[in-house]
Amino acid sequence: MRLPYERLRAELLSWFAQAGRQLPWRETRDPYRVWTAEVILQQTQIAQAEGYLGRFWGAFPTLEALARAPREAVLALWQGLGYYQRAHNLHRAAQVLLDMGGIPLSPWPEALATLQKVPGIGPYTARAILAFAGEAPLLPVDGNLVRVLSRLWGDATPATERKAYQAKADALPPAFTGRAVGFALMDLAQLVCKPRRPTCPACPLRSACQAYQQGQSEAFPVKAARAPRPTRFFRLLVYYTAEAVWLAERPAKGLWGGLWTPPLEELSEPPFRPADLRHEFTHFRMLAFAERLSEPPPHTQPIPWAELHRYGLPAPIRRYLTQLHTYFLKNFL
């Protein structure tokens, strides 16, 4: 369906000038900062991401600083953000980009193809870098923009079909792409075109929005059936003294890749007692049952309690060990 995109752009940007959010990472056109902000903002609440971004840029102010940093330093700073594969990919991508001479921005079609070959930089992130740092006529489509575009077009393509929405966005006229439109649509998704109870009368796109015209805003985008999330069970092998706790660095790929934890063994079924640690991942629920050992498990090393903050630990493991150490000090020393 052909829509009056130039008029919609004007109405959208007029609304954005009055209602848009002031976010610190939008003040830069530095491709390094745009890229790292986009990665950290994935799967992270804005309020949480803002503090992390300040610390991240303070520790790694440039592409070269990130590429040259030890991986352990990156993982240690990443604690609490979750999805640790992002940190691995970010560090590796920085090394690749530095070897390439920096983050390419132009000509944008070639830069788009190049960026998508870099570890961890997918279709959305590549377009975000080019649109927000390089003013390329692109519209990066995330889950929020899927919702806005689905409603605007009255498109019944399921929300899970992100590639289909991105392909349609790539065919939009230049007037409805780029940095300003991208930021405005993101804010529209957060402030007006919300998943539930969207405030359609306040929307600058309502005159052309097909879902609104049909009185079916909340029917879009169509949701695909979601498989139930399984529960997985683990044994947590714990050995500690008053001075240290014995941990192992996990393999780079997989669960909590590259982070430090007590050894984990997956169980086929749980013991008949409450779990000592529970954590919700995107694709499964973890229940872990601690087993205190009488001697250090193989392939572990003692980490002094006082030095634990220097190591990259998953947030739930850090919380568990902190509680364990507090209990030990209170009851046995």
Catalytic residues: 38
Contacts of 95 (CB under 8 A, 6+ apart): 67
Cβ atoms of 172 and 8 within 8 Å: the answer is no
| β-sheet bridge partners, residue 289 | 235
Alpha-carbon 307 to chain mean position: 28
Give the number of other Cβ atoms within 10 Å of residue 330's Cβ.
8
Q: Is the Cα dihedral 124, 129, 131, 136 positive or negative?
A: negative
Query: Which residue type occupies 102?
Result: G
Q: Using an 8 Å Cβ cutoff, are 328 and 240 in contact?
A: yes
Which region, left, alpha or beta, applies to residue 325 given φ > 0 means left and ψ of -120 to 50 means alpha?
Answer: alpha
CA 63 and chain centroid, separation: 19
